[in-house]
Structure 1
């Protein structure tokens, strides 16, 4: 039987949202991603999806997929939404053509639903006026819309991560207003619970596969993420120089670069005036992680070991299944993890969309 819940994933990255879609029972039939490494990752994990590794400006969607898919989702990159770019921060700014491409896909394909996602800062640009303008434009394409900020930690992801969403349902299909408050929240999952069974590693380790640690009780989150995996894959840790490892050793759980500075270990920094609080942050084992963004550059530190996070650990904290394989050079793989929407967060949204659609038909 053909799955009636088909989806198109644009600006797909490695495919975090698509993993959530598949978990919810939705089949991605087309993905568009400009970065060749992220597109290769997507294809490796979604072998039956048509993946276009090209500039979206040159893609005519109706040449690749039938009109009226169930769902279109994605998050346009936001170079033109820069906070510093106060005078040109509007929909006519040429830098914002990515958003225009999203609208073009909605207009051409006329999906039953669309999910637009972006960084949480998107909502606050220009005192919120910009997000309102974006939603108004999407609404004008024939959709009933609603928007909100969701924190992944509220939905079973072991990470505090806010994302901004606009969700629309086609008025011709009934124009359902997505109720964000109806999403069922789940108990918090901590870093310690999420990583407990992953192998101990050293600074600079590049271990393709390793046995899981034996633990007395496997946490439900770990069971969900491990699926049928027998070993932990891609246990790759960036090699940090000795003076950086020395900084790691000075920082306790929950502390950041300031702890290293107090011990005189940041002499190479000309100034720490604008240093972000997430730099050299050692994760606390009894809480969800801080946001996993560019975790290599921000030097996020393992709760117990004096090293950065491994690729698999970061993927775990983003709720990627353990059998998900990343492609490309390590730095690109790390960025793919950091850029992704957590699959479990998107799963919750997509399950609610299916529920609303089924009730609407009934």
Structure 2
């Protein structure tokens, strides 16, 4: 029996990366980590025999080694969202997801596997994905020569600056004194965020009326003659005046904006303390900012793992899933590493499909065109018995590996959505609609992404499969949404791989996954390198063993022969 390399899969999701590795029959997944209960259920039911744990932050790798032996390979796709500072509309400055990259690194440092594969969005190598310098980072950053630069974390726009603001953000006690409870801030922020579209704002004011009215008394009667208390009183007095009918909706934004911005400032300043971020100085000029040292996530990973004490050789590239046989142009950043004593060099596999040979949407889902989808989880329980099909594409023949089709579920289409579906031709999206069909929808229709209300084209690969329910992807031929199973086919999940959880959770699991066909290509390439070293070592040991046995036999022969003389 062929040797199988022991694997730990971190941030496994539904198990697309695991599936690709298992399909090579060269790997044995021992433990997978996934925090989402829905994804856990899907993973467990499709990967029986794999131990599934939850929070990767609580992982005990020494215990895993005690129970399973030395782990050969670590795989996974840690989420990494980059600087929240790039979007000042967000309340949070520091993405907790970035910390999960450090958890991935911890797994490699503690397990010291022969090799690892890390998959993430194609932007990971960009300047956007950086860590802020924390207490405890300085020593390793210096020792591994990780490039560092000054970064200014924006706290408050100049328009909202007030005397004493800089003193407050420096003092954790003052921050906590002025910061509202998260639930209170949320109520006011919902109104502020909807202010670009007055009809949406009025709907939000109606929907949140009960909660806002309960806060009005608290904040209009707030004690204190400081600027923060004064702005809070103004904000909630404006909400009260609207409900009393004395303030029009279009005047609310300017009244509540200062309080919203001040609360965002306080929240970001609190995060600095909570995350032990080192601030070199607070700067107040045209706006208020914290001067912080930062370093690129990729530099951090690369420089630590290639350091002599870890001794990995690393290679990274942005791969297009279509190059590996997936019917979608999904771009993912992949980092692969291997111990230098196994191989002095490593690379990711080249794709075997040229652009003019790309598999298409029709290759993936054309055989399902006449199979009516269901609308509820109850209807999907028994699945749909697949009729025999002829002239299947090569891809469909591979994916159609079950006599019963599960997850061929769609959400019921509203009259408004159906009208839009009917108006769009293959390749068109929301922006191609007549203006009369764009009303009563997104807060800012002009800024809507091109993937929204996208009608797929049969004769091309799809774009990146995301949560296609939220994006309202439309079938190339029918006036309906793409089903969960059709989205899974575009990701190259075989029909035997069944997704669990609510409809939205199933769509999300499919959208978050690594296309197994791409994962399989990476796994095959890695197994080839690992096996080459393993075979060479086995041959060397065999030679040594034969030498020892020969010497032993000769010794025994001499020992027996001498007394006979």
Check the 8 A contact 1:117/1:166 in 2, yes or no.
yes
Task: Pick closer, same or farther for the CA change 1:77–1:95 going to 2, 3 Å.
Answer: closer
| SS, match of residue 144 in structure 1 | strand
Task: Pick closer, same or farther for the CA change 1:44–1:205 going to 2, 3 Å.
Answer: closer
Structure 1 position 211, deviation (Å): 3.4
Check the 8 A contact 1:203/1:308 in 2, yes or no.
no
Structure 1 position 204, deviation (Å): 3.8
Q: Within 2, Cα distance between the matches of 1:255 and 1:297?
A: 17
Which position in structure 2 is the counterpart of 1:115? 117
Q: Within 2, Cα distance between the matches of 1:30 and 1:159?
A: 29
**For this pair of structures, how many residues does the alignment match?**
353
Which position in structure 2 is the counterpart of 1:220? 394
Q: Within 1, Cα distance between the matches of 2:349 and 2:22?
A: 23
Task: Pick closer, same or farther for the CA change 1:95–1:21 going to 2, 3 Å.
Answer: closer
Which position in structure 1 is the counterpart of 2:413? 240
Check the 8 A contact 1:197/1:214 in 2, yes or no.
no
Tell me the alpha carbon deviations over residues 286-343 of structure 1, each in whole angstroms, 9 at most, x when there is no partner: 0011111121111111111111111110100000110111111111111000000000
Task: Pick closer, same or farther for the CA change 1:251–1:51 going to 2, 3 Å.
Answer: same
| SS, match of residue 167 in structure 1 | strand
212-221 vs 18-27, which moves further: 212-221
Check the 8 A contact 2:7/2:72 in 1, yes or no.
yes
1:309 counterpart = 2:482: yes
Q: How does 1:242-281 map to 2 (within 5 A)?
A: 242-260=415-433, 262=434, 264-269=436-441, 270-281=443-454
Q: Within 2, Cα distance between the matches of 1:247 and 1:126?
A: 36
Q: Alignment partner for residue 211 of structure 1, among 385, 390, 394? A: 385
1:173 counterpart = 2:345: no
Q: Within 2, Cα distance between the matches of 1:189 and 1:179?
A: 24
**Normalising to structure 2: TM-score of the pair?**
0.59
Check the 8 A contact 1:145/1:167 in 2, yes or no.
yes
Q: Within 2, Cα distance between the matches of 1:2 and 1:286?
A: 41
By percentage of residues, which structure has more helix?
2
| SS, match of residue 371 in structure 2 | coil
Q: Within 2, Cα distance between the matches of 1:223 and 1:359?
A: 32
Check the 8 A contact 1:183/1:349 in 2, yes or no.
no
1:341 counterpart = 2:519: no
Task: Pick closer, same or farther for the CA change 1:67–1:105 going to 2, 3 Å.
Answer: farther
Which position in structure 2 is the counterpart of 1:97? 99
1:138 counterpart = 2:305: yes
Structure 1 position 142, deviation (Å): 2.2
| SS, match of residue 524 in structure 2 | helix
Check the 8 A contact 1:71/1:112 in 2, yes or no.
yes
1:148 counterpart = 2:321: no
Check the 8 A contact 2:105/2:301 in 1, yes or no.
no
Structure 1 position 151, deviation (Å): 0.5
Tell me the alpha carbon deviations over residues 91-117 of structure 1, each in whole angstroms, 9 at most, x when there is no partner: x97652211110111011111110011
**Normalising to structure 1: TM-score of the pair?**
0.90
Name stretches of at least 5 consecutive residues in structure 2 with no aligned partner: 89-93, 131-295, 537-565
| SS, match of residue 408 in structure 2 | strand
Which position in structure 1 is the counterpart of 2:73? 71
RMSD: 2.3
Which position in structure 2 is the counterpart of 1:89? none
